Chains A and B, each alone.
Chain A
Amino acid sequence: MRVVLAEDLFLLRDGLVRMLEAFGFEIAAAVESGPELSRALAELKPDVAVVDVRLPPSFTDEGLQCALAARRETPGLPVLVLSQHVEQLYARELLADGMGGVGYLLKDRVFDADQFTDAVRRVAAGGTAMDPQVISQLLSRRSRDRPMEKLTPREREVMELMAQGRSNTAIAGELFVTERAVAKHTSNIFTKLGLAPSDDDNRRVLAVLAYLDRGARE
């Protein structure tokens, strides 16, 4: 799987290259600035891009902007954005086109190599990988809204993992329950939130996030 990596700090870039290579990824390019990233994405068309939000020369959200621009050029181009901080605002912008294939994680998540590479693969496959921090913010915020109050604590746990982009199998493993139980919880959640059930991992996350997003505006 060919990866384009953009990270301006040498230590982190080097570490990420080594980690990804150790897990069998092919590093198509490892760049350190916004313009280089845009060029690499346009020319190399990687299977997935791993991008730091803040990049030179502007040291603002240049990485995010480059990723969004590249996705406008190539719809659905898988992008996993890494950041020193996570903001719902940015998460929403990434999810806004509804194409899937996006991830937004705190940089610390690379500590757990297995989970991190799993997230990269999930994004490359068109799924989503949202940082638990984004999700928990969304859920704690919405807990005052009526639809969320209808969920049982277990259903909320399932929903959190589901919103991160995990598959039913992964959720079952995490919560030590059977896959069937997870499927039952998810369909309950969809019913309570008034969403049509769907098997598609990516679409259900988008549906959940879109629903929460709408909740914030109404």
Chain B
Amino acid sequence: MAAGRGLYIAVVSLAGSIALLVLSVLSIGFIALGVGVLTTPVVLGAVRSFAEWRRRLGQDWAGVRTPSAYRPLPADLRPGLAGQAERCARLLRDPATWRDLLWLPVDMTAGFFTAALPAVLLAFAAEGVAIAAGLWRVLGDGYWFAFIPVRGQVSALAAGVLGLLVLAGALRVNPALLQAHFRLTGAVLAPSKEALARRVERLSETRHDAVDTSAAELRRIERDLHDGAQARLVAMGMSLGTVEALLEKDPEQARKLLAAARQDSAEALTELRDLVRGIHPPVLAERGLGDAVRALALRMPLPVEVEADLPGRFAAPVESAAYFAVSEVLTNAAKHSGAERVWLDVHHDAASGTLRMTVTDNGRGGADPSAGSGLAGIERRLGTFDGILAVSSPAGGPTLVTMELPCVLSSQKTSSS
């Protein structure tokens, strides 16, 4: 059984790996000529399904699970040549693609050997038995079966015994050999263990931060509502109750209380408005990140020059994280940097799928993300989305804060500005 499967894999993998390796190398080489751009995604797609097929066989036949870690291609890739070029570029940037390509030569050598070995063992055993059964007469005098020189019936019988021993051994180890083949496949194809471990560690860390942050945020909202708008509405209700009682006896006093009640309602509204802005800024909801940071810049106490070039909108949590990160950096700049001007640049790099935001000011510098300031909070906020923060702030300035968030555009632009 294992031998049959192994032989099948050995034959198919040898042919498939050689063919695909040659095609891949040619195709990638031809990218320089242009033709490769069209063929590479097709060839790499075939390599991928070949590798996936082997992963599946490993699971079904030997119980060896090999995780696959291909990066997903965005669903809204443009059609035509441009889309094909982008697909090609994305495929080539995926480390999983390069693991596939590295696996092909391994598969056609060591992989072929391990896959074919069970069948070879069986054939060897069969040869021993055949020699004992009379094949020795046909073979010349100098024939060696393994370490046994075949000279007559006696040595032929010895060969037969050895063949049977090999057969017994083969039946025992063949499944393990097949498994070894798939383990080899897995070792080359699977994303590296440390990388996975690092990733898991980072994810649990950022998840922890995210949960903490959102819990703190909820507490703040609850407190603000409780101490602010809610208290004001209660005060308003009391004023109105008193007004009701005073209406006839003391109209003048009632009028004053009414004015106070209206003041309370206005202040409750202001507080609710600020609260909403702190949770999800209205302009962000209405217009998206570009206009939201423009509106933010207009509210800053110092001039902020905004350069925002975004072709569409992002997922709401990403927009929100980006907005609040920018907001925090701008507020820091206004409060601590002593700057007179700030420059904000926000743009999306479609090729790498990254949202990049830079804030530069002409202040005195010396900002330190490790000093437990707001910068560490921004780093955590961005970390939830695998984003990064880099700060360059030599004493004497200028300060340059760069933030990057990996993200894809989720929809086309909705407003004209």
When the two chains form the complex, which single residue of A53, A88, A93, A141 contacts B286, counting CB atoms closer than 8 Å? A53
- B286:A54 contact, CB within 8 angstroms: yes
Shortest CB-to-CB span from B415 to chain A, Å, is: 7
Interface of A is mostly: helix
What are 23 pairs between A and B in contact, CB < 8 Å?
Answer: A53-B286, A54-B282, A60-B285, A60-B286, A60-B414, A61-B286, A84-B276, A85-B273, A85-B276, A87-B283, A87-B295, A87-B298, A88-B299, A89-B291, A93-B417, A108-B266, A108-B269, A111-B262, A137-B298, A140-B301, A144-B301, A144-B302, A216-B298
A85-109 vs B: 1/0 string, CB under 8 Å? 1011100010000000000000010
Which residues B46-70 have CB closer than 8 A to chain A? none
- A-side interface size class: 20 to 34
- B265:A216 contact, CB within 8 angstroms: no
Q: Does A188 contact B (CB under 8 A)?
A: no
Shortest CB-to-CB span from A189 to chain B, Å, is: 22
**Given known A60-B287, A61-B287, A144-B301, contact A89–B295 (CB-CB < 8 A):** yes
State the B residues within 8 Å of A (CB): 262, 265-266, 269, 273, 276-277, 282-283, 285-287, 291, 294-295, 298-303, 305, 414-415, 417
Closest to B262 in A: A111
Q: Does A38 contact B (CB under 8 A)?
A: no
Shortest CB-to-CB span from B141 to chain A, Å, is: 94
- Contacting residues, chain A, for B287 (C-beta < 8 A): 60-61
Closest to B288 in A: A60
Q: Does A167 contact B (CB under 8 A)?
A: no
User: A54 vs B283: C-alpha distance in the bound complex, in angstroms?
Assistant: 10
**Given known A61-B287, A84-B273, contact A216–B303 (CB-CB < 8 A):** yes
User: A141 vs B297: C-alpha distance in the bound complex, in angstroms?
Assistant: 11
- Contacting residues, chain B, for A111 (C-beta < 8 A): 262, 265-266
Q: Does A187 contact B (CB under 8 A)?
A: no
- Contacting residues, chain A, for B286 (C-beta < 8 A): 53-54, 60-61
- Contacting residues, chain A, for B269 (C-beta < 8 A): 108
**Given known A89-B291, A111-B262, A111-B265, contact A84–B302 (CB-CB < 8 A):** no
Which residues A118-145 have CB closer than 8 A to chain B? 137, 140-141, 144
Q: Does A117 contact B (CB under 8 A)?
A: no
User: A85 vs B278: C-alpha distance in the bound complex, in angstroms?
Assistant: 13
- Contacting residues, chain B, for A217 (C-beta < 8 A): 305
- Contacting residues, chain A, for B301 (C-beta < 8 A): 140-141, 144
Which residues A187-211 have CB closer than 8 A to chain B? none
- A61:B298 contact, CB within 8 angstroms: no
- Contacting residues, chain A, for B294 (C-beta < 8 A): 89
Which residues A144-181 have CB closer than 8 A to chain B? 144
- B282:A85 contact, CB within 8 angstroms: yes
- A85:B277 contact, CB within 8 angstroms: yes
When the two chains form the complex, which single residue of A65, A85, A89 contacts B298, counting CB atoms closer than 8 Å? A89
Excluding A111-B262, A216-B298, 10 further A-B contacts by CB distance (< 8 Å) are: A58-B414, A60-B285, A60-B414, A61-B286, A84-B282, A88-B299, A89-B295, A108-B266, A141-B299, A216-B303
Shortest CB-to-CB span from A191 to chain B, Å, is: 24
User: A93 vs B287: C-alpha distance in the bound complex, in angstroms?
Assistant: 13
User: A70 vs B283: C-alpha distance in the bound complex, in angstroms?
Assistant: 21
Shortest CB-to-CB span from B187 to chain A, Å, is: 52
- Contacting residues, chain A, for B285 (C-beta < 8 A): 60
Closest to B298 in A: A88
- Contacting residues, chain B, for A54 (C-beta < 8 A): 282, 286
- Contacting residues, chain B, for A85 (C-beta < 8 A): 273, 276-277, 282
- The 7 A-B residue pairs with the shortest CB-CB distance, nearest first, are A60-B286, A61-B286, A89-B295, A88-B298, A85-B282, A87-B295, A108-B269
User: A85 vs B282: C-alpha distance in the bound complex, in angstroms?
Assistant: 8
Shortest CB-to-CB span from B393 to chain A, Å, is: 23
User: A140 vs B334: C-alpha distance in the bound complex, in angstroms?
Assistant: 14
User: A54 vs B294: C-alpha distance in the bound complex, in angstroms?
Assistant: 19
**Given known A89-B291, A89-B294, contact A65–B302 (CB-CB < 8 A):** no
User: A58 vs B415: C-alpha distance in the bound complex, in angstroms?
Assistant: 12
Closest to B265 in A: A111
Shortest CB-to-CB span from B363 to chain A, Å, is: 14
**Given known A54-B286, A85-B282, A108-B269, contact A61–B415 (CB-CB < 8 A):** yes
Which residues A25-63 have CB closer than 8 A to chain B? 53-54, 58, 60-61
- Contacting residues, chain A, for B302 (C-beta < 8 A): 144
User: A112 vs B296: C-alpha distance in the bound complex, in angstroms?
Assistant: 29
Closest to B274 in A: A85
- Contacting residues, chain B, for A141 (C-beta < 8 A): 298-301
- Contacting residues, chain B, for A53 (C-beta < 8 A): 286
Shortest CB-to-CB span from A135 to chain B, Å, is: 13
